[in-house]
Amino acid sequence: MSAATVTGANVAANGIRQHYLHYLGAGAPLVLVPGITSPAVTWGFVAERLAREFDVYVLDVRGRGLSQSGPDLDYRLDSLADDLSGFIAALGLSGVTVLGHSMGARVAVRAAKRNPAGMARLLLVDPPVSGPGRRPYPSKLAWYVDSIRQAGKGMDAEAMRTFCPTWSREQLALRAEWLHTCFEPAIVTAFEGFHTDDIHRDLPGLPIPAGLMVATRGGVIEPADEVEIQSLNPGICIERVADAGHMIPWDNFEGFLATADRLLGTALAARKAA
Query: What residues act catalytically?
Result: 102, 222, 246
**Helical (H) or strand (E) element with 268:** none
Distance CA 45, CA 248 (A): 13
Of 200, 220, 215, 204, the residue nearest 245 (C-alpha): 215
Other beta carbons within 10 Å of 213: 26
3-state secondary structure 43-101: HHHHHHHHCCCCEEEEECCCCCCCCCCCCCCCCCHHHHHHHHHHHHHHCCCCCEEEEEE
Other beta carbons within 10 Å of 36: 23
Of 71, 110, 118, 91, the residue nearest 10 (C-alpha): 91
3-state secondary structure of 187: helix
Distance CA 241, CA 250 (A): 12
- H-assigned helices in the chain: 44-50, 77-90, 103-114, 141-153, 157-160, 169-178, 184-196, 223-232, 248-251, 253-264
